[in-house]
């Protein structure tokens, strides 16, 4: 897109895009993320039970993504986002009061359902909004800026969350619930894209929706990409976020840091982690222009896999690896959204995008359960090293079968 057309796009959609950035800034995950797994461990859970919670989350994603994506296509992307945001806010409040594995297991079902409603509808709303002005090629650029806004706000939230955690590990959950609730207020001001309103959603039966999803998943230009990114890469990198806190705690204590300072240090680490992610996400459009989506996906799995293996032999490498991991994850997710959106139609778009999340949710379950058991038997560092080896070998096998990203 040239400068003149970009200026025309910005002038006509700036209000909606700015509201999108504001909504992204209310996701509030950084308040509880620095202490999330420490909170679970403090409730008496072990690594296997934590892995079971994550598996419950992803199984709910598996069974809920297509139905909630269908709802998003029928009632509108904005309304679907609103339902999901309210559900997440209420669930975060409940987790702060939870004190047992069974209670957390039930809350995880509702937590996942909330994200089900948001997962496909968010990208579908943005892509259709940009399509209104023939600017859909700007999706990765705008989504990257939205992630940057979220991460920049999250940097301060992580510091606050870390210090709140030193007082009481439940406080960050309560603050996150309140800020997430503000996102619902922002969503009430959004309009549905004209592109969506012009589609014949009344003709979108559930059977037809399933047919659209089946056809999309079987396309030659998508099937290898689904295995490469949504099944393998997304599943392995998900484990990085699960085991960051216990590994961080082990590494810094071994370096001589007092265990009493771990929570506050995690807050500062997550702030730096978010800022690195914000910078990388802000330049998503520039990375796409200079490097290209195809090159990015061909190189990244091998770099990440090698880093995870290296951490086991030199544990201190975990700190820089974790710092970069978030930014790489968000940029990669934006590129994946661009690639999939470019290859599907408006009708059923939210459902197809939700189906991608469903596939990822199914694939990550064996990784979660296996890594939880390995962590209890050996260590979280060893579990991530095994995951890194699987990523390298699996990516090589898929590349030898079929190119996952085509021009």
More confident residue, 43 or 368: 43
Answer yes or no: is 7 within a domain.
no
Note whether 331 and 284 are within 8 A (CB): yes
Answer yes or no: is 360 within a domain.
yes
- Residue 159, helix vs strand vs coil: helix
Q: In angstroms, how far is the first alpha carbon of the chain from the final one?
A: 17
Please compute the mean of the pLDDT values over residues 93-108 and round it to a whole number. Answer: 92
Q: Which DSSP string corresponds to 321-381?
A: HHHHHHHHHHHHHHHHHHHHHHTS-STTHHHHHHHHHHHHHHHHHHHHHHHHHHHHHT-HH
Answer yes or no: is 11 within a domain.
no
What's the pLDDT tens digit per position in 279-302? 888 888 888 888 888 899 999 999
pLDDT confidence bin for 11, thresholds 50/70/90: very low
Which H or E element spans position 217?
helix 206-217
pLDDT confidence bin for 172, thresholds 50/70/90: very high
| Separation CA 36–CA 33 (nearest Å) | 5
151: domain CATH number is: 1.20.1250.20
* pLDDT of 9 above 50: no
Answer yes or no: is 14 within a domain.
no
Q: What is the mean pLDDT of the chain?
A: 81
Number of domains present in the structure of the chain: 1
* pLDDT of 97 above 60: yes
| Of the listed ranges 93-97, 275-279, 386-390, the one predicted with least confidence | 275-279
Please compute the mean of the pLDDT values over residues 34-44 and round it to a whole number. Answer: 86
Answer yes or no: is 70 within a domain.
yes
pLDDT confidence bin for 347, thresholds 50/70/90: low
Can you read off the two tokens belonging to residue 80?
A: 């679907």
Note whether 141 and 20 are within 8 A (CB): no
Please compute the mean of the pLDDT values over residues 188-205 and round it to a whole number. Answer: 67
- Closest Cα partner for 33 from 209, 218, 244? 244
Rounded to the nearest 5 percent, the helix, strand and coil shares of the chain are 85, 0, 15
Answer yes or no: is 311 within a domain.
yes
Q: Is the pTM of this model over 0.75?
A: no
> What's the confidence (pLDDT) of residue 5?
44
* pLDDT of 71 above 80: no
Domain carrying residue 60: 19-401
Answer yes or no: is 1 within a domain.
no
**193 CA to centre of own chain:** 23
* pLDDT of 354 above 70: no
Give the orientation angle of helix 47-75 with respect to helix 234-254, to 10 degrees.
140
* pLDDT of 208 above 70: no
Tokens 């209104």 belong to residue: 132
Answer yes or no: is 3 within a domain.
no
pLDDT confidence bin for 4, thresholds 50/70/90: very low
More confident residue, 230 or 94: 94
């Amino acid at each position: 897109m040239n400068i003149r057309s970009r200026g025309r796009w910005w002038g006509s959609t700036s209000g909606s895009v700015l509201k999108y950035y504001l909504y992204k800034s209310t996701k509030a995950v950084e308040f509880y993320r620095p202490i999330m797994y420490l909170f679970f461990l403090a409730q008496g859970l072990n690594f296997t039970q934590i892995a079971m919670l994550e598996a419950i989350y992803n199984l709910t994603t598996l069974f809920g993504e297509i139905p909630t994506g269908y709802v998003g296509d029928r009632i509108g992307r904005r309304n679907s986002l609103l339902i999901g945001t309210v559900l997440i806010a209420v669930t975060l409040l409940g987790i702060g009061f939870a004190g047992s594995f069974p209670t957390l297991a039930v809350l995880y079902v509702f937590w996942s359902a909330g994200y089900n409603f948001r997962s496909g509808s968010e990208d579908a709303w943005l892509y259709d909004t940009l399509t209104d002005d023939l600017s859909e090629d700007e999706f990765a650029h705008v989504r990257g800026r939205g992630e940057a806004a979220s991460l920049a706000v999250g940097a301060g939230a992580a510091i606050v969350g870390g210090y709140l955690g030193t007082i009481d590990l439940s406080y960050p959950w309560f603050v996150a619930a309140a800020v997430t609730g503000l996102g619902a207020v922002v969503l009430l001001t959004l309009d549905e894209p004209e592109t969506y309103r012009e589609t014949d959603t009344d003709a979108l039966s559930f059977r037809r929706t399933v047919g659209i999803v089946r056809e999309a998943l079987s396309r030659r230009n998508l099937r290898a990409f689904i295995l490469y990114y949504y099944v393998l890469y997304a599943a392995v990198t998900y484990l990085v976020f699960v085991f960051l806190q216990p590994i961080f705690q082990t590494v810094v204590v071994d370096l001589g840091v007092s265990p009493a300072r771990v929570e506050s240090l995690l807050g500062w680490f997550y702030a730096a982690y978010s800022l690195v992610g914000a910078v990388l996400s802000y330049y998503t459009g520039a990375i796409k222009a200079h490097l290209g989506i195809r090159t990015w996906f061909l190189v990244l799995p091998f770099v990440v896999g090698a880093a995870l293996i290296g951490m086991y032999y030199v544990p201190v490498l975990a700190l820089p690896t974790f710092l970069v991991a978030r930014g790489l994850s968000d940029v990669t997710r934006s590129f994946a959204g661009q690639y999939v959106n470019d290859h599907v139609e408006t009708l059923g778009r939210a459902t197809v995008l939700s189906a991608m999340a469903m596939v990822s949710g199914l694939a990550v379950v064996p990784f979660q359960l296996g890594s939880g058991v390995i962590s209890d038997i050996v260590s979280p560092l060893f579990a991530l090293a095994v995951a890194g080896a699987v990523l390298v070998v699996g990516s090589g096998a898929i590349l030898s079968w079929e190119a996952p990203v085509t021009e």
